[in-house]
């Protein structure tokens, strides 16, 4: 029982004293706390956007080729939706790029 009380007391002291350990310095707090992780996170966001867009564009192209191979006469009516789909997917990557650049300018 005495060991349990000593453990509780030690845990309480550690929790109370840890507040100063996790306190932010002035310069780090003014930067938003991001520090050097901002370029890494921007790169990760761009990589994920490009990965998702390339996967989506591959599936769009595959679906178009499947449709054309089943019905070659429908190629003219399927071409405009194909281009629009590819443009919409690529626009998401461009928006991610613009947001990434605006974040890096603040850094």
Length of the chain: 107
| C-alpha 25: how far from chain center | 27
| Domain residue ranges in the chain | 35-107
> 30-41: string of b/e by CB count within 10 Å (b at 16+)?
eeeeeeeebeee
Q: List, for residues 4-63, the tens digit of each pLDDT value.
A: 787 777 767 676 766 665 665 655 555 566 567 888 888 899 999 999 999 999 999 999
Q: What fold, for 35-107?
A: F1FO ATP Synthase (1.20.20)
Predicted TM-score (pTM) of this structure: 0.61
């Amino acid at each position: 029982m005495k060991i349990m009380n000593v453990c509780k007391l030690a845990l309480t002291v550690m929790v109370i004293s840890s507040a100063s350990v996790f306190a932010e310095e002035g310069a780090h707090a003014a930067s938003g706390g991001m520090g050097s992780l901002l370029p890494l996170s921007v790169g990760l966001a761009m990589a994920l956007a490009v990965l998702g867009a390339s996967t989506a564009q591959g599936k769009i192209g595959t679906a178009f080729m499947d449709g054309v191979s089943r019905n070659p006469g429908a190629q003219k009516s399927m071409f405009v939706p194909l281009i629009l789909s590819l443009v919409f997917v690529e626009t998401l990557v461009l928006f991610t790029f613009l947001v990434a650049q605006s974040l890096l300018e603040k850094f």
